[in-house]
Amino acid sequence: MFADDESPKPKQRHEIGCDLSFLSAGELEERIGLLEDEIERLKAEKASKTSSRSAAESFFKSK
């Protein structure tokens, strides 16, 4: 009946500027990994947008 202990924990987020003093070294390492993954995701999106824009500019310059 009390399934609170079995409920999935929400995915951990990192809030920029939050107090880090309460986190263990392991938790800090986990957050670093999350942030590195997010940086890679942002770089990939930026590259995608840059290449799309370059392609569009090339197309319209040739006309």
What CA–CA distance (Å, rounded) separates 8 from 5? 8
Give the mean pLDDT of 36-60. 88
pTM: 0.62
- 42/57 Cα distance (integer angstroms): 22
What confidence tier does 58 reach under pLDDT thresholds 50, 70, 90?
A: confident
